[in-house]
Structure 1
C-alpha cells in the first residue's frame, strides 16, 4: 500500500481515556486558518518530535487535508425554478451512489435485505453523477447535471473538533528511557516554538489527567500522610505515638526508587497511585508494633523494653503477611497483554515498597517509638513545670 503508515499500539490502560497508550496532544485551529494550515502545523510539530534521536518509539497523526474528494455545488435558484427540492437531491445522491434500505423479505427460511443503488457502471466516473435524475414536484425527471456543479478537491475525510475548534490529534509513545512527564514537557516546548499565532494545543486522554494532577501530586501525598496521622492521633489519643508510625513511611520510597530504576519505569500516573497506596501499606507494619508497645507500656514496662518486646512478638506475623502480599503482586510484575503497562508499573511500586518497608522500616520502628516517648516525656515535664508555676503564682497573697 503506497504511503501507508502502520503502527501497532497497546490500548489505553483505562478504557474511555484515549484510544492508545502514550501521550495524545491536540492541535487546535483557534483563528480559523483552515485545514491546510492545521495540517502544516501538525506535521511540523510531529516532524520535530520524530527528528529527535531516541525520543519517539511511535509517533503519528490520522489527520490529513489531502484526501481526494468530490465537491458538489447545488444551484438552488435553478432547483427552485425546476421545482426540485434540495432535500430530494441529497436523498437521490444517497440512493444512487450509496444505498437506501427498503425492506426485508423472507425466502428459503432466511431474511434478505432490499437496498436500492445504481449499477456499478452508472456510478463509476465523475460524469455519471450528472446523468442521474431526480423527480421534481410534478413527477418529471430532471437530470442532476442541470442542477449540480461537480469538481475534484482535496480535503479532510473527517473534521474533528476539540473545545469547538477544528483540531487534529498527535499520538506518540516515547522510548522507555523517557517518562511521560518528560515527553509531555518536550512536546509542549516544541509546540510553543513552532505553532503560529492562532494555533494552540491541548492535552487529552491520560495525558490530560496526568497534567491535571501533576501539580497536585505533592499536595495529595501530604494530604494522605496527614489523614493517616490524624486518624492514628484520634485512635491513640496522642500526638507523639502516630509520629513513630509516620516516620517509617518515607523508608518505603527507597525500595520504590530502586525498583523503578532497575526496571527503567517512568514516574507516571500509576507510579503515583502506587505511592499513595504505599503510605497505607508502610504504615500497617508500624501500627502493629506501636499498638503492641503501647499495651506493654501500659502494663508497666519501660518504653525501650516495650518497643523491643513488641517488635520481637510481632516480627513473625508482620513477616508472614508481608511475604504473602509481596508474592501476591508478582503477577502484576509479569503481566502481559492489553493494559499490562499499568499493571507492571503499579506492581513494581508495591513490590519494591513492601520489601523496603519490611526490611528497613521494621528495625527503625522501635527506635522511632522510643524517641517519640522521650519527646513526649519532655513535653509533659515542661507542661507540668508551667502548670506548677501558674499554681504557685495564684496561691501567693495579694
Structure 2
C-alpha cells in the first residue's frame, strides 16, 4: 500500500520470466540440436573467444580454486567473514556514513515561489512582490548562463489570487511558476531553488512564503497537532514553528491554519443584560450604522427603489467611530457603547479543520539540503523538540504525516509481503531439495546480499530509501537462484560418490562460470540505469543499485563463503546427532541427499 505503481513493474518482470522459461524449455533445445551448433570447428589460437575462455579458466582454476581450497581447510575462520561484513555495514549505517531516508530526492522540472500576506492586503502589493520575485529569478538565470554558458530556467509565469502548496487564496496570495530544463545539466534543480531563495531574501511582511518544487511523496517533515482545546493547539503550533525555524536543516516552515479577516469580538457587560440587550441586538445596531438598514421602498416610474440609512462615508472608514457610537435600549434610552460593551479586534479563522473528531493544525517543513537524511532530521525533532512540546501542552496529540506516513504505509505492506515471499521460497526450496535444512542454507545467503545493496548506496552516494527496499525484494530471488545452482551441484557430486570436501570443491569449480556470468550480465545490464540522469530514471535508480550491488557482493560471498557455511553447518549437525545418539557420525552421514538415498534403499529392501 502506498506504492501501487510497483505493480506495473512486477507484472513486466513476471511476464519476462515466464517468456524466458518458455524459451529455455522449447526454443533453446532446438537451437542446441541444430547441425550448425553441433559441428566442431577448429578455433584460431588467438581468437577473441579463446582468450575469454582462457581468462575465465585462469580465474576459476588459479585464483578462485586456490581461495576455495583455503576456505575448505579453514571453514570456521571463513564463516565469520560475512558476519564481520554485516557488522561493518551496520556500523556505517548507524554512524550516518551510509545515509537513510524515507524517499529519495527526485529532481523536478518546475518549481514555485508562493507567498501569502495578511488577509485583506491589497492586490497591488501582492502583484509588486511577485514581479520582484520574477525579476530575481531572471537574475539567477543570467548568473547560471554566465557560469555554464547554458540556460536552465526556460520561462516564468505569475498567478495572482491563489497558491497551490499554501492553501491560500484572495488578493493577498499569489505565486510565480518557474519552468526548468535541468536534465543533464551541471546545476541541479535543487541548487536553482536555493539560489532563488537566497536571491529573494527574507520576507518579513509575508505570513507564509516558500520556494520549492513538488514533493511526490509529501513533505519531509509534516507534524499534525490535534486536541479539543484549540487555543492550546495554536500555542503549541507557535512553539513548534519557532523550534523548527531554529533548525538549520529545515526551511520554509508553514502551517495550514491561516489567518482570516479582522473581526470585532463583542462581550456584553452586566448593565447591558439588565437593560434587556443581547448579542444579537447589539450586533444588529452596529451593522445598521456601518452597513446600513432598509427603511423604505419607493416606486419611481416602473422601478422599485430601496432606501437605506447608514453613517456617512467619512464615519464608516474608521473603527474609531465605534467608540462614539450609542446603543438604544428597549426602553428607548441611548447609552455610550463603552458603558455596555467590551470589544476587541482579532483575526478570525479561515477554516476549521478536524481529524478523527478533534481540531487539527498541521505544520510542514522542507529540507535545506534535499539529499540530507530525512530520517535523521525527523529523529532529531522527535528527540529534542517533541518531548518539550508535550510537557508544555499535555492535551495536544501528535501524529507524523507526510513522507513518514507514506513510508509507513509502504513498509507495513512490504513486511507482510516479505514474510509471505520468504515462506513461499522456503517451502519451494524445501520441497525441491527434500530438506528444510538445505532450504534454510540457501535463505541464509540473502542477508549478505541485502547489506551489500546498502553498501552499494553508500558507494554511489545515495541514501537507502523505501524504493531501495523494493529492489532488495527482487534481489532475494536472484541470490536464491545462484545458491540453488551451487547446492544442487554439491548434492549431485555427493550422489556420485565424492566426499564432502571434494563435492564442495567440484561444485564451486563447475558452477563458477555460470554463476559469475549471470551476475556480471545482471550488473552490466543495470549499470546504465544507475548512471542515467534523466528525470524519469530517478525513481528506478535506487532499485537498480539494490539489485546490482546486492548481486555483486552476494555472488562474491556465495562463491567463497557458502562452502564455509555448508561445512560449518555439517559440523553442527554432526554435533547434534552425536549428543542425540551417543555415536559420532561421519560427514557423509548427516547430508540430506545421502540420507534420502539410504531411506529409499531401506524401503526397497522392505
TM-score bracket for this pair, using the shorter chain length = 0.5 to 0.7
Q: Is structure 2 residue 251 aligned with structure 1 residue 47?
A: no
The residue correspondences of 1:112-123 to structure 2 (distance < 5 A) are none
Pick from 189, 199, 212 the counterpart of residue 8 of structure 1. 212
- SS in structure 1 of the partner of residue 211 of structure 2: coil
Per the TM alignment, residue 167 of structure 1 is displaced from its structure 2 partner at its CA by 1.6
Preserved CA contact (<8 Å) 1:63 1:168: yes
RMSD: 4.5
1:359-398, CA deviations, whole angstroms, 9 ceiling, x for partnerless residues?
Answer: 2322222332344445556656777767xxxxxxxxxxxx
The residue correspondences of 1:90-129 to structure 2 (distance < 5 A) are none
Q: Is structure 2 residue 400 aligned with structure 1 residue 203?
A: yes
Pick from 157, 160, 168 the counterpart of residue 361 of structure 2. 168
Preserved CA contact (<8 Å) 1:33 1:198: no
Per the TM alignment, residue 201 of structure 1 is displaced from its structure 2 partner at its CA by 1.1
Preserved CA contact (<8 Å) 1:278 1:350: yes
Preserved CA contact (<8 Å) 1:252 1:361: no
Aligned residue in 2 for 1:312: 509
Per the TM alignment, residue 142 of structure 1 is displaced from its structure 2 partner at its CA by 7.5
Per the TM alignment, residue 275 of structure 1 is displaced from its structure 2 partner at its CA by 4.0
Per the TM alignment, residue 267 of structure 1 is displaced from its structure 2 partner at its CA by 4.4
Taking the aligned partners of 2:415 and 2:246, their CA distance within structure 1 comes to: 34
Taking the aligned partners of 1:24 and 1:341, their CA distance within structure 2 comes to: 23
Aligned residue in 2 for 1:66: 259
Pick from 160, 184, 187 the counterpart of residue 381 of structure 2. 187
Distance change in 2, residues 1:187/1:280 (3 Å): same
Per the TM alignment, residue 207 of structure 1 is displaced from its structure 2 partner at its CA by 1.0
Aligned residue in 1 for 2:313: none
Q: Is structure 2 residue 552 aligned with structure 1 residue 355?
A: yes
Aligned residue in 2 for 1:103: none
Pick from 275, 295, 309 the counterpart of residue 492 of structure 2. 295
Aligned residue in 2 for 1:38: 233
- SS in structure 2 of the partner of residue 7 of structure 1: strand
Preserved CA contact (<8 Å) 2:519 2:555: yes
Taking the aligned partners of 1:291 and 1:173, their CA distance within structure 2 comes to: 52
- SS in structure 2 of the partner of residue 67 of structure 1: strand
Distance change in 2, residues 1:194/1:158 (3 Å): same
Aligned residue in 2 for 1:96: none
Per the TM alignment, residue 356 of structure 1 is displaced from its structure 2 partner at its CA by 0.5
Q: Is structure 2 residue 541 aligned with structure 1 residue 344?
A: yes
Aligned residue in 2 for 1:111: none
Distance change in 2, residues 1:173/1:76 (3 Å): closer
1:331-353, CA deviations, whole angstroms, 9 ceiling, x for partnerless residues?
Answer: 55346576866533333333321
Q: What is the aligned residue count?
A: 320
Aligned residue in 1 for 2:523: 326
Taking the aligned partners of 1:157 and 1:62, their CA distance within structure 2 comes to: 13
Taking the aligned partners of 1:238 and 1:328, their CA distance within structure 2 comes to: 34
Distance change in 2, residues 1:262/1:168 (3 Å): farther
Per the TM alignment, residue 322 of structure 1 is displaced from its structure 2 partner at its CA by 1.8
Per the TM alignment, residue 202 of structure 1 is displaced from its structure 2 partner at its CA by 0.7
Per the TM alignment, residue 42 of structure 1 is displaced from its structure 2 partner at its CA by 2.1
1:199-237, CA deviations, whole angstroms, 9 ceiling, x for partnerless residues?
Answer: 221122441254578799999878865654444223212
Distance change in 2, residues 1:221/1:46 (3 Å): farther
Preserved CA contact (<8 Å) 1:303 1:373: no
TM-score, scaled relative to structure 1: 0.63
The residue correspondences of 1:128-139 to structure 2 (distance < 5 A) are none
Per the TM alignment, residue 324 of structure 1 is displaced from its structure 2 partner at its CA by 2.9
Listed as ranges, the gaps of 5+ residues in structure 1 are 14-19, 79-125, 387-398
Per the TM alignment, residue 357 of structure 1 is displaced from its structure 2 partner at its CA by 0.8
Aligned residue in 2 for 1:393: none
Distance change in 2, residues 1:287/1:334 (3 Å): same
Per the TM alignment, residue 355 of structure 1 is displaced from its structure 2 partner at its CA by 1.3
1:164-202, CA deviations, whole angstroms, 9 ceiling, x for partnerless residues?
Answer: 222222223444675333233222331231241322211
Aligned residue in 1 for 2:52: none
Distance change in 2, residues 1:370/1:212 (3 Å): same
Preserved CA contact (<8 Å) 2:265 2:346: no
- SS in structure 2 of the partner of residue 240 of structure 1: helix
TM-score, scaled relative to structure 2: 0.44
Listed as ranges, the gaps of 5+ residues in structure 2 are 1-128, 130-204, 267-277, 282-288, 298-303, 311-318, 320-344, 584-606
